[in-house]
Structure 1
Amino acid sequence: MSTTKHPPNTRLRWQRLQRGWSHQEVVDQIKRSMTQAGEVEPGLNADMVGRWETGGRKPDPRYKKHLVLVFGQPASELGLLSAEELVLCPADLVAPAPKDNVLMDEQQLIDAVAKKVMLVLLGGNAEFSRPVFLKGLLGASLATLFSNGIAIPDGTEALAGEQRTRLDRQSVDAFAAIATSHREMYWMTAAAELLPSVTAHVHLGTGMLKSTSDAEAPQSRKLASAVAESALLASRLLFFDLAQRDAAERFFQLADDAASTSQDHALAAAVLGHRAFVPGFAGQLQPARDYLSAAHAHARYAAGPQLRSWLHCVDAEVSARSGQSKASLTRIRSAEDALVTAGTDPVWLDFFDSSRLEGFAGNTLLLAGRNREAAARLQNALDNLAETATKQKAVLLFDLAVAHAPTDAEHAVATVRQACDLIGQAPYSTALQRVPDVRAALSATPYVGELDERVRALSGPVREA
Structure 2
Amino acid sequence: MGTRRTSTPKHPTNTRLRWQRLQRGWSHQEVVEQIKRSIEQADEGEAGLNADMVGRWETGGRKPDPRYKKHLVLVFDLPASELGLLSSEELALCPADPVVPAPTTNVIMDEQLIDVVVKKVMLVLLGGNAEFGRPVFLKGLLGASLAALFSNGVAIPDGAEALAAEQRTRLDRQSVDAFAAITASHRDLYWTTAAAELVPSATAHVHLGTGMLKSTSDAEGPQARQLASAVAESSLLASRLLFFDLAQGDAAEPFFQLADDAASTSQDHALAAAVLGHRAFVPGFAGQLQPASDYLSAAHAHARYGAGPLLRSWLHCVDAEVSARAGQPRASLTRIRSAEDALVTAGTNPTWLDFFDSSRLDGFAGNALLLAGRNREASGRLQNALDNLAETATKQKAVLLFDLAAAYASTDAEHAVATVRQACDLVGQTPYSTALQRVPDVRAALSATPYVDELDERVRALSGPVREA
TM over 0.5: yes
Pick closer, same or farther for the CA change 1:326–1:272 going to 2, 3 Å.
same
Structure 1 partner of 2:334: 330
Distance of 2:181 and 2:117 partners within structure 1: 22
Code of the aligned partner of 1:103: E
Distance of 1:9 and 1:199 partners within structure 2: 33
Structure 2 partner of 1:113: 121
Q: Any residues of structure 2 matched to 1:129-148 within 5 Å, and which?
A: 129-148=133-152
Greater shift in the superposed pair: 435-444 or 32-41: 32-41
CA contact 2:170–2:218 (8 Å) conserved in 1: no
Structure 2 partner of 1:302: 306
Provide the alpha-carbon RMSD of the alignment.
2.0
Structure 1 partner of 2:456: 452
Q: Any residues of structure 2 matched to 1:180-191 within 5 Å, and which?
A: 180-191=184-195
Structure 2 partner of 1:201: 205
CA contact 2:379–2:404 (8 Å) conserved in 1: yes
Cα distance, 1:345 vs structure 2: 1.1
Q: Any residues of structure 2 matched to 1:64-213 within 5 Å, and which?
A: 64-92=69-97, 95=100, 102-104=110-112, 108-118=116-126, 128-213=132-217
Structure 2 partner of 1:29: 34
Distance of 2:108 and 2:312 partners within structure 1: 32
Question: Mind listing any 5+ residue stretches in structure 1 that lack a counterpart?
Answer: none
Distance of 1:262 and 1:107 partners within structure 2: 23
Distance of 1:118 and 1:2 partners within structure 2: 62
SS in 2 for 1:112: helix
| 1:54 paired to 2:62 | no
- Count of residue pairs brought into register by the alignment: 458
Distance of 2:61 and 2:115 partners within structure 1: 49
Distance of 2:70 and 2:119 partners within structure 1: 46
| 1:214 paired to 2:218 | yes
CA contact 2:259–2:275 (8 Å) conserved in 1: yes
Structure 1 partner of 2:325: 321
Distance of 2:113 and 2:426 partners within structure 1: 35
Greater shift in the superposed pair: 155-164 or 366-375: 155-164
Q: Identity of paired residues, percent?
A: 84
CA contact 1:110–1:136 (8 Å) conserved in 2: no
CA contact 1:313–1:331 (8 Å) conserved in 2: yes
CA contact 2:109–2:258 (8 Å) conserved in 1: no
CA contact 1:191–1:237 (8 Å) conserved in 2: yes
CA contact 1:115–1:136 (8 Å) conserved in 2: no
Greater shift in the superposed pair: 38-47 or 74-83: 38-47
Cα distance, 1:60 vs structure 2: 1.1
TM-score for the superposition, normalised by structure 1 = 0.95
Structure 2 partner of 1:340: 344
CA contact 2:39–2:47 (8 Å) conserved in 1: no
Code of the aligned partner of 1:11: R
Distance of 2:225 and 2:261 partners within structure 1: 12
Cα distance, 1:114 vs structure 2: 2.3
Task: Work out which of the residue numbers 360, 372, 375 in structure 2 matches 1:371.
Answer: 375
TM-score for the superposition, normalised by structure 2 = 0.94
Distance of 1:172 and 1:24 partners within structure 2: 39
SS in 1 for 2:178: helix
Structure 1 partner of 2:3: none
Distance of 1:110 and 1:241 partners within structure 2: 19
Question: Mind listing any 5+ residue stretches in structure 2 that lack a counterpart?
Answer: 1-5
Task: Work out which of the residue numbers 398, 405, 409 in structure 2 matches 1:401.
Answer: 405
C-alpha distance after superposition, 1:346-397 (max 9, x if no partner): 1000000000000000000000000000000000000000000000000000
Code of the aligned partner of 1:6: H
SS in 2 for 1:213: coil
Cα distance, 1:93 vs structure 2: 6.8
Cα distance, 1:279 vs structure 2: 0.2
Pick closer, same or farther for the CA change 1:115–1:63 going to 2, 3 Å.
same
Pick closer, same or farther for the CA change 1:365–1:45 going to 2, 3 Å.
same
Code of the aligned partner of 1:455: V
Cα distance, 1:432 vs structure 2: 0.3
Distance of 1:216 and 1:351 partners within structure 2: 29
Pick closer, same or farther for the CA change 1:454–1:175 going to 2, 3 Å.
same
Distance of 1:215 and 1:90 partners within structure 2: 18
Cα distance, 1:116 vs structure 2: 3.6
SS in 2 for 1:386: coil
Structure 1 partner of 2:430: 426
